[in-house]
Structure 1
């Protein structure tokens, strides 16, 4: 009887990797422009909580903007332990200088790549309030740049060159969304910029 229990336990242990092969282990964050998560991880911003140790972990439901994280929780991907990313801090997050209508190369660091549908980039509307929690009403809900991957797995360093929205000035936020192909999740990165 004891031998049978041992064999059952061993079979279960051997089968476990097969069960887990369908789980998304992809994780990533944007370094250009630097996201809030990345700024926390390099110490450019303090009082960040757990995100400083895992900037790649802002994974939430995909389907943005129709679905995904709730308004006011977009930057944290709806994960309460990363809520510091949703705190607008009175509009004091550090910004990157961008040129409206110019060409820009967005960069992601993927700590674990995964089959990908696309990378998409959204920007806040003119007149948005940088001191209020980020909502869909504050964003242009049509991405200004979409990079399709059609289920392919990207490399661990990803760069997408595209044209920035024209006519923008002042402080804005860019939301990068990495849509995973074979799970119900996406990764969300918020970057504060000045045009």
Structure 2
């Protein structure tokens, strides 16, 4: 009887770390992307453009704050960086409204919009939790032509941000 208890204890001790690790590994429930005009990851999810695994989780383009990267620093989503992939380009005027769909609305510091590495707009959320859907009207300040807008959602309580790129033809 003593040998069975000892074997059970050894098995339990050996398997418990695996059990704990298994419980702590959860799929991303993350987080948000621009749905209109359709961001690159939204186009992937809708099957408009053939992409890799990002089509299954367009809301998950998360990476360290401060990047200028459509893929949020993830090589597995490198297709989001490919300007020649055949992205649909939205014709917009001198300003456009960007509609975010959030699947996990984190407390937020700011929302930033960039063209060619230059910040063109910022919206301060003040550390508050946004609603599940929100919009920003961005004035392009005289910029015209085909451009890629990089939108950045800076989360308040982590070192990360969410990234979305939208291809637009300003004044088109």
Question: Same fold per TM (> 0.5)?
Answer: yes
Contact 1:25 1:113 survives alignment (8 Å): no
Match of 2:52 in 1: 49
Question: Following TM superposition, where does structure 1 have runs of at least 4 consecutive aligned residues deviating by more than 3 angstroms?
Answer: none
Match of 2:120 in 1: 144
Match of 2:149 in 1: 174
User: What is the CA–CA distance in structure 1 between the aligned matches of 2:136 and 2:105, rounded to whole Å?
Assistant: 16
Structure 1 position 157 matched with structure 2 position 139: no
Q: For residues 180-191 of structure 1, what are the structure 2 equivalents within 5 Å?
A: 180-191=155-166
Report the alpha carbon displacement of residue 31 of structure 1 after superposing the two structures with TM: 1.3
Structure 1 position 85 matched with structure 2 position 80: yes
Larger Rg: 2
Residues paired across the two proteins, number: 154
Match of 2:37 in 1: 33
What are structure 2's unaligned runs of at least 5 residues? Answer: none
Report the alpha carbon displacement of residue 145 of structure 1 after superposing the two structures with TM: 1.4
SS in 1 for 2:110: strand
Match of 1:112 in 2: 104
What are structure 1's unaligned runs of at least 5 residues? Answer: 18-23, 125-138
SS in 1 for 2:127: coil
SS in 2 for 1:182: coil
Match of 1:60 in 2: 63
Which range is displaced more, 79-88 or 151-160?
79-88
**TM-score, scaled relative to structure 1:** 0.70
Match of 1:134 in 2: none
More strand by share: 2
Match of 1:132 in 2: none
User: What is the CA–CA distance in structure 1 between the aligned matches of 2:109 and 2:141, rounded to whole Å?
Assistant: 23
User: What is the CA–CA distance in structure 2 between the aligned matches of 1:25 and 1:115, rounded to whole Å?
Assistant: 15
